Structures are given as structure tokens and as C-alpha cells.
Structure 1
Amino acid sequence: MNRSVEDADSAREKVAFLGAGAVSEALIAGALAGGLDPGDVWVTARSQEHVDALSAAHGVRGTTDNAAAAAQAGIVVLALPAAVVAGVLEEVAGRLREGAVVVSLADGVPLAELEQRLPEGVGAARAMPSLTAQAGEGLTLLTPGASCSAAQADAVGGFFERSGKVVRVAEEQHAVLGPLSSGGPAFVLHLAEAMIEAGAVRGVPRDLARELVTQVLTGSAAWLRADSREVAILREKVCAPGGAGIRRIAALDRYAVRAAVVSALGGAPPELP
């Protein structure tokens, strides 16, 4: 085997996270639980203290030197704000391995711009993960660029699959699907918080209410996955005519909860009263 190809294959599973925010930590935790060796993960942060904390927490390698970390990996994840992506790419471009893939998590940085800033032989991709990756149930929207070979795209997809589900989408779909995928957990957790508080109002201890609500959400998700019928049909199964369930749904409708969710996720946020 050609030495450069062999080196690329050995490096492909090595991942460098440039930027150590909440999304990086979620993906690292999920990928390690999914079988990735912590010795194959590099992470960078601006402060050595933050690097040391991440290394201690997860057993990964850490540095404050973006270029040094990028040089080790076959997959380089830019977990950075859009405003600093160009500067970091300039910093690391000359150290990237041939056959590596640079994956940007930054919203609003198009693939064409990434590819213009990368050397020949290095692929580019965009990804939009969710924080539920830390529990092994993430959802990542993935768009490999034209610069990615099939092997490179599969390697990136395989990495994100360690922490959940991967859906390959066209680049323009990130803006449309993002509120449902990466933003969706906030809506579910907001509802869960309200359900727990409703239990507390009725005298249920919050820890018990949380246990009940967690299982309700887990069971509902499993039911939704297992039964392909319309969601409205499944909901009607819980809401017998004249029963308490349908009256509670009617109360939600009086407060326009459904319309508010559709407005928030489907377009402009609802106007406050």
C-alpha cells in the first residue's frame, strides 16, 4: 500500500475538535461511549486550564495549538463561531493531512467558502449536531462537499454515528431543518420542565415527577418510532372522547400552544401579548 494512503487510513479515525464548547463536549462524550478511543481525540481551547479540565474529564489529548491538533487527525471539526472560521482555517491549512476532512459546525459558513480555503486533497463538510449526542441519541445533519470522496464522506458519517443518528441533507436544508434537529431538544425540555412543575403543583415530589416525565417521553418516542400511523391518530388513542386527556389538550389549544410551537419552529417567533 502507498505510504501516504496508509497514513491517511490510520489517521482517519483520529478526530481533532478545534473549539471546546458544549457541542464539542457532547460529541466527545457520545463518540467515546460509542467506542472511539480517547487517545484518538484531540481538543483545543484558548486556555490551558480548560484543556486540562477536558483531558481530565474524558481522557482525550488537549492543546492550545490548533495547528498541532489538526495535524494529528483525519477528521478536523471546527466547533467555532462563524466569525473566526476563516482565521482558524488560515492557521491550520498548511498542517492538514492529505485526505483529511474539515467539518464545520458553524451556521452560515457555506461549503464553497470552506473549500476555497483548504488545500487540494482535503475535503470539506458541514454538520449540524444536537446536544443529545452526549447521551448517544444525537441527531446530526451532514452535508459532505464536492471535495469529499465517498470514503471521506463515509468516515465523517461514521464518526457522527457513534453518538446517534446521521441524516445527509442538501446544504440549503440546514436552515430549514436546524430548528427541529439541533433546536428541538429545547422545546421538548421546556415541555418536560412544565410537566414536572405541574406535578409539583399537585403535590408530587419533583424527583418523582421527573422520573415519570422522563419515562413518558422515552415511551412516547419509542411509540412514535414503532408506529408509522399519523401522529394525530396516536394522540387520539390517549384522548378518549369526553375524557380527562382530551380536556387537557383542549386547555392547551385555548392557550394556542400548538400555534406557538408551529410559529416558533416554522418561521418568525410568535409575538408576545
Structure 2
Amino acid sequence: MERKIGFIGSGKMAEAIIGGIVNSEFVLPENIYASNRTMPKLLDLNVTYGINVAENNQDVVNKSDIVFLSVTPDKYPLVIDEIKDVVQEETIVIIIAAGQSIAQTEEQFNRNIKLVKAMPNTPVLVGEGLTAISFNQLVTPEEQIEVTRLFECFGKAETIDESLMDTASAVGGSSPAFGYMFIEALADAAVVNGMPRDKAYRIAAQALLGSAKMVLETNEHPGKLKDDVCSPGGTTIQSVAALEENGFRSAIIKAVQANINKMR
């Protein structure tokens, strides 16, 4: 990809995306620019990934064809006011803040601009990310394909209606935290029963990874795949029964709903 990519804000999500792009070799590090409120963070990114350090936010915009606004929602009005006059007509701006809508961003720019709303998750750093994407009407079909391919270079990307973005963010964006908790709990149970912790983490994590891959690659219903593991009167169905008894599904549904309520 010959486009130049810019990042205004260099927090954890921006770093994960930068790492995913660089590791995939989809964009060369010398074609990536980043700005941040503090210089030490930028210097760390320069040393780790070889990207360019920009002097300020306007410098990022001037040097980039695609610009990620990777700051917190409360900083959007200030940043947009700073860059809105230097964003070119063909520049694509990508917003990745929860709760920041396309319509709200268009209003803050106060002019026509190509906008993409994207909600990636942190596994982009290891090439297994999930990004939900929505576009405004000014982004051409060709540009939509280009942006989608950018996110697909470090995982999967799903184009959805923006009205579903909060739900997609809760299920895809925040759920890695749930997965980490599940892995940790499985490992704790293994440690209780005498297994060394490092082995417990590897076994639990690989089992979860393999299960997810089975869902994606077989196209089987998750319930059927679960049933295939549960022999009549066997150990797995006893475990499933214990999870149901303790509200496993209900806890997950409530966690997702709490996430959506917070964003709204």
C-alpha cells in the first residue's frame, strides 16, 4: 500500500494498530506518522516500529492520506478544531473513539469530509484483530475497499451499519478482556489441581484460540460444536451444567449490556 498513514494520539489502541500494520508489512514504517501529547511515547514508537515522529497534529495531517483520530472522545473537539482547516478534500479521517459518531464528527469539522468510524480490538497487534467499520457517503466504494483491506492486514474486518457500532464494540472490542479473564480462571483451576501456571496459561489460551477457529472455519453453530464435545454422562457436560447453574451465559449477556449502556 503506497498511502501514507497518520495517527493523532499514540495510546494503546494506536500502538496496537501501528504494530499490526508494521508487522504485516502492509505499509512501510517510513510511511507512518504519529503525534502525541508527550514526546517519550512517540520516541518509544519510533524505536520499536521505526515510524516517523511528527512535530504536531497539523504535521501529521499534512503528511498523511489516511488519518486516525486516536484520542479520547473528550479531546475530539479540540483536535478537530486544530486540524480542520488543513485536512484536504481527499484525506480519509478514521475515528476510533467509543461514543464518537460520524454525524457528530461531521458537525465538528463543519464541512464535507471523508469519514470512517472504526472500532478495532487490541488483538490487531498479533494479526488477529476484529474491526467493525462504517463509512459516510463521501467515501467511495474503492476507498471503502482500501480501508477495509488496511484493517484486514491485521485481522478480520466487518462493515456494519453505524447504528450497530455500540453493539459491535461491546461484543468484539471489549470481549478480549472477558477472554483474558476466562483464560486466567481456567489457569487458576489448573493451578489448584497442581499444574504449573505457565503451562496452565498455554493450555487454556490455545484451547480458546482453537475453539474460536473452529467456529470461524467450520461455519457450524457454536451450540452444535459444544454438543459435539459433550458425551452423554461425560465430564464436559458436567462442566457445562456447572457453568449454567452459576449463570455463565447470563453473566456474559449482562456484561455486554453494561458495556453498551456505558457507551450510550
The answer to whether 1:28 aligns with 2:15 is no
Mapped partners of 2:187, 2:241: distance in 1: 20
Match of 1:52 in 2: 43
- For the aligned residues, what is the CA RMSD? 1.9
List per-residue Cα deviations over 1:236-260 (Å, max 9, x = no partner): 1111111111111111122111211
List per-residue Cα deviations over 1:44-72 (Å, max 9, x = no partner): 11111211111111100113401101111
Mapped partners of 2:45, 2:169: distance in 1: 27
Match of 1:265 in 2: 256
Mapped partners of 2:112, 2:6: distance in 1: 18
Q: 1:268 to 1:83 in 2, by over 3 A?
A: closer
Query: Would you identify which runs of 4 or more consecutive aligned residues in structure 1 move more than 3 Å?
Result: 116-122, 266-269
Pairing partner for 2:135 from 135, 138, 144:
144
The answer to whether 1:183 aligns with 2:174 is yes
Write the letter of the residue equivalent to 1:218: L
Q: 1:116 to 1:181 in 2, by over 3 A?
A: same
The answer to whether 1:113 aligns with 2:114 is no
The answer to whether 1:129 aligns with 2:120 is yes
Mapped partners of 1:126, 1:114: distance in 2: 10
Mapped partners of 1:254, 1:268: distance in 2: 24
Match of 1:4 in 2: none
Whether the 8 Å contact between 2:93 and 2:116 is mirrored in structure 1 is yes
Match of 1:216 in 2: 207
Matches within 5 A, 1:95-106: 95-106=86-97
Whether the 8 Å contact between 2:106 and 2:112 is mirrored in structure 1 is no
Flag structure 2 segments of 5+ consecutive residues without an equivalent. Answer: none
Pairing partner for 1:161 from 146, 152, 160:
152
Match of 1:16 in 2: 6
**What's the offset of the Cα at 1:42?**
0.7
Task: State the number of aligned residues.
Answer: 259
Whether the 8 Å contact between 1:44 and 1:64 is mirrored in structure 2 is yes
The answer to whether 1:67 aligns with 2:72 is no
Pairing partner for 2:247 from 252, 256, 264:
256
Write the letter of the residue equivalent to 2:150: F
